[in-house]
Amino acid sequence: MKIAILADIHANIYAFNEVLADIQKESVDKIIVAGDLVGYYYWPSEVVNICMQDSKFICVRGNHEDNLKLALSEPDKLDSLTKKYGSSYRICLETLSIEQVNWLLNLPQFLDLKIGNTNFYITHGSLKETTEYVYPNADFKKLKENISNSKFTILAHTHYPFIHSWNDKWLINPGSVGQPRDFGNIASYFIVNLETNLIVPKRIAFPTKVIAKHVDIYDKDVKYLKSVLQRGSK
């Protein structure tokens, strides 16, 4: 049995489609998404529709889903969210159906489940908080305290991929599909083969020019949204 592990798609349908094409070649049985399907970029409905309609997907919510909830419940916060993150939440409110919004906001924050005979614990930030960062260079104490009782603990949020192990348990951050922060135009995810215990990091290039054009249209003053796509490139 093969499992794809990904996170932080951030409404980037171009990166998501490239990763899905690669996943299809792997013939996976399940696709874990550790939160942040939306936020930052401009195609939330397309991304959410794929995850909703395909029974292979197992999703938890991230801090950007919580931000969307905030934008819905407290509309006066939308301006500050837009200033920090760009127009993504406005586009969510304009394009997501009621069904899609309800599905997103009802995703679990933490998910403890068994796939085959293997236990997974999935969340977005840390074992304590959705918004807490656990970086690849975190000290051993912090890494250890974020390894659950399951064989695989899946975290995200940092947009930097890593893998650590302790006593035959694995802590995996798959990095980001839609906004990788090490190499900005190369999506990151992992494949786990439960039969061979092989864990494979995957990097898949995606087109950034079309995304940059949309940033210029919607968020030309939010320079980060374009500059992050150029990280690591020469």
CATH number, domain containing residue 224: 3.60.21.10
* 8 Å CB contact between 165 and 143: no
**Its pTM surpasses 0.95:** yes
As a whole number, mean pLDDT of residues 68-88 equals: 95
Q: Name, in order, each residue with C-beta under 8 angstroms of 186's C-beta and a sequence gap of 6 or more.
A: 180, 203, 204, 205, 206, 232
Tell me how far apart the alpha carbons of residues 208 and 49 are, in angstroms, rounded to a whole number.
Answer: 22
Domain that holds residue 136: 2-230
Q: Name, in order, each residue with C-beta under 8 angstroms of 64's C-beta and a sequence gap of 6 or more.
A: 10, 35, 36, 37, 38, 39, 40, 85, 88
Under the banding of pLDDT at 50, 70 and 90, the label for residue 233 is low
Under the banding of pLDDT at 50, 70 and 90, the label for residue 67 is very high
Q: Is the pLDDT of residue 232 over 80?
A: no
Buried b / exposed e across 196-211, counting CB within 10 Å, b at 16+? Answer: eeebeebebebebeeb
Tokens of 19: 């990763």
Length of the chain: 234
Quote the number of domains for the chain: 1
